[in-house]
Amino acid sequence: MKDIIIITSYTPDSEREELLRNFIDSIDTTNFDIMVVSHTRLPDDLYEKVNYFIFDKENKVLTDINSKYTMFWNNNEFSLETTEARRFNHFIACYKLFFLGINAARDLKYEKAHVIEYDSLVNSMEHLEENSRLLDVHSLVYYQTDYSPSLISFPMAFNLKKIREEWFRLDEEKVLSTHAKTIEDWELELVLKEKTAFARSYKDLRLKDPSVDKPMVYSLYHSYGDNVWLCPLVDINDDLLFFTDNNSPTQLEIDILINQNERVGVSLHPGQWHLFSLGGFDNITYLSVIKNKTDIINYDFNIIDKQLYKEKNHIKGNK
């Protein structure tokens, strides 16, 4: 029986649909079937190119402070920790697609599954064939990094007859009650329980390096997370500061409305960051952050636990 490639997908616009289309077109199906598991519809022309399509209408994102993951930023002057660098955590949405895919693959009697995200490209099937051979002996193949997080979430390859049963169970409540806040956290917990897991170097994927002589196996094109940090932070004096870092390719215009009456604005070129004070945290009950005149983020500190917010969103000097 062939192996199956499970493509987890979210393509709400034509640009991302084209990434999925290019990926599917790059796969040699001689020894592989294709399954797409998605939170969005499959473009009509792709139905003839895949063996299975699973649609999951629920695209659950986590927005409360306890569910979002902490990110870090520092320079010589200060260090910060924040949950607000991303608007939401899509861990459960990713987890659900993975769960649906491998359970369906096992029910369909596939032995080996290669789980890969849609914004990828296969230029050589040799790498996948090698992973398939490794699965004759090992329960799974994953890609280890030398940075944080310590593994790449996908691609991963699974022997569906050898991996632990926990991989096939969807238990959102249990997952969210642990320290796992990302798909990588959860995967690492389970990988470490696998006695015959095989670690490959992330460098084997030749990420973002089209200049190498050997064809790339995967090329991750885009990260569709917000590339702009818009983070209210509390300092040791209980002042609320606002940090923004513009990693986007365009000019950034920020307007902040404090307690629905005081307005502060800042403009940043691509690659610039800025830090400024909004006043005492105790005196601020409502905050509206307006990005480029249309995108609005609201903070109602009558509802948000201020002490919890301070614990998870703070800044300190490095001098």
The DSSP-derived string for 65-130 is: TTTSPPEEEE-SSEEEEES-SSS-B-HHHHHHHHHHHHHHHHHTT-SEEEEEESS---S-THHHHH
Class of domain 228-317: mainly beta
Q: Contact, 158 vs 140, CB < 8 A?
A: yes
What Cα–Cα distance (Å) separates residue 28 from each residue in 25, 106, 132, 192, 217? Answer: 8, 22, 14, 32, 12
273 or 89, higher pLDDT: 273
* Residue 48 token pair: 């003839």
Each domain of the chain, given as residue ranges in start order, spans 3-64+88-205, 228-317
Q: How confident is the model at residue 215 (pLDDT cuts 50, 70, 90)?
A: very low
What are the b/e assignments for 54-69, b being 16+ CB within 10 Å?
bebeeeeebeeeeebe
The pLDDT tens digits of the residues spanning 77-107 come to 999 999 998 888 888 899 999 999 999 999 9
- Name, in order, each residue with C-beta under 8 angstroms of 308's C-beta and a sequence gap of 6 or more: 65, 66
| pTM across the whole model | 0.83
Q: Is the pLDDT of residue 222 over 60?
A: no
Sign of torsion, CA 142 152 200 126? positive
The pLDDT tens digits of the residues spanning 179-190 come to 667 888 889 999
- What is the DSSP secondary structure assignment for residue 204, as one 8-state letter? G
The pLDDT tens digits of the residues spanning 155-200 come to 999 999 999 999 999 877 776 666 667 888 889 999 999 999 999 9
Helix (H) or strand (E) holding 185: helix 183-191
Report the chain's mean pLDDT, rounded to a whole number. Answer: 89
Architecture of the structural domain at 3-64+88-205: Alpha-Beta Complex (3.90)
Pairing of strands 140-144, 198-201: parallel
Q: How confident is the model at residue 149 (pLDDT cuts 50, 70, 90)?
A: confident
Q: How confident is the model at residue 220 (pLDDT cuts 50, 70, 90)?
A: low
The pLDDT tens digits of the residues spanning 104-134 come to 999 999 999 999 999 888 878 888 999 999 9
